[in-house]
Structure 1
């Protein structure tokens, strides 16, 4: 009995030592490398994006629309260009202002040749109405991570009120002393409100992932 107990105790101690060594090795291999000087990772704290004028970063922006394909599925279209400005103050969010424009001819799709057709006179009429725009009228913060931005959305020359539900992704000191704030924003439009053809049978969801960088 004594020998059996001693053997079990030795086995338990050995397992504990093995787990400790594995844990230490894992901690050493998973430690992230340091960031370059002047580069700071984001945190989920809007206060880290200090007050000022910000510009939309087109290289870190995705504008996607989810369109019902006659009720069978959702087609995903992406717009590859965007520009915009944000006047931001984390201490007075309600006073913030946003203006964004997206060239409709920058639409892309997985269907060969369809993007050119979508930009044409049968759909987005990009030659006559080159940009879709959104201009804010109110910022409404709901908690530390979420809010709503009300404004006027213009497409095909028709302007309608629209509200985006906004989620903070991250904010921080950014790069080389230029703070950044990144968000996900979602809204839905009625295609017939803007004169799109009956092919679009259901509301179109707009999904935007973007970063804004403070001007020098």
Structure 2
């Protein structure tokens, strides 16, 4: 009888564990379709997010740098097109691997003493398919605000094995015209039209986790 009860208990326990795992999978589905991700508030994971920028450097190369320490939130709606994205970039967290870091914070470029952060707030999201979207929004940089379009791709949602947190991953691309924000240092000029390009290409990598607040 004891052996029978022990066996029965094992079966019940296995069933409970199995149903618990199934419930967890329903609540935190592994998917590449954004429409299958649970709606809610998600916080940007600064450790796994960055913005890489690139400019043409006198026709010689594409010079790149990065912004790190980014914060933000994604309020994911049941209809992803109704979601809200807000991002804040600390401009003193620019990385170039050279002394240019300090120059970029001067009045020639970001003027971080007066405008320490850049912000992006979405105004509309158009879903192109299950994992691609066009995000229209407003970028505030150097005290000026202008429209910016991000072409975004949803990569995956799943439980991250190292911290057991549910996580969403995205990539994005955008192009801004720096002179629109009053950043006109070394713009191309003269007969050869050489300088640092007015257009700045942005490559965005972002991961979000459920907001704990």
TM-score range, shorter chain: 0.7 to 0.9
Q: Contact 1:83/1:100 (CA < 8 Å) preserved in 2?
A: yes
Q: Which residue pairs with 2:133 in the alignment?
A: 147
1:60 aligns with 2:48: yes
SS of the equivalent of 1:121 reads coil
Q: Which residue pairs with 1:203 in the alignment?
A: 199
Q: Contact 1:48/1:179 (CA < 8 Å) preserved in 2?
A: no
> Where in structure 1 are there 5+ consecutive unaligned residues?
1-36
Q: Which residue pairs with 1:214 in the alignment?
A: 210
RMSD (Å) for aligned C-alpha atoms: 2.3
How far, CA to CA, are the matches of 1:180 and 1:87 in structure 2?
14
Q: Which residue pairs with 2:71 in the alignment?
A: 83
The one of 113, 116, 120 aligned to 1:127? 113
SS of the equivalent of 1:184 reads strand
> Where in structure 2 are there 5+ consecutive unaligned residues?
1-20, 187-195
Q: Return the index of the structure with the highest Cα Rg.
A: 1
TM-score scaled by structure 1?
0.76
Q: Contact 2:42/2:76 (CA < 8 Å) preserved in 1?
A: yes
Q: Which residue pairs with 2:86 in the alignment?
A: 99
Runs (4+) off by over 3 Å: 37-43, 173-178
Residues matched between the structures, number = 178
Per-residue CA deviations over 1:166-204 (Å, capped at 9, x if unaligned) read 011111244677432110011000111011124232310
Q: Contact 1:66/1:74 (CA < 8 Å) preserved in 2?
A: yes
The one of 132, 146, 149 aligned to 1:160? 146
- Quote the offset at 1:93 in angstroms: 1.1
1:45 aligns with 2:33: yes
TM-score scaled by structure 2?
0.77
1:137 aligns with 2:137: no
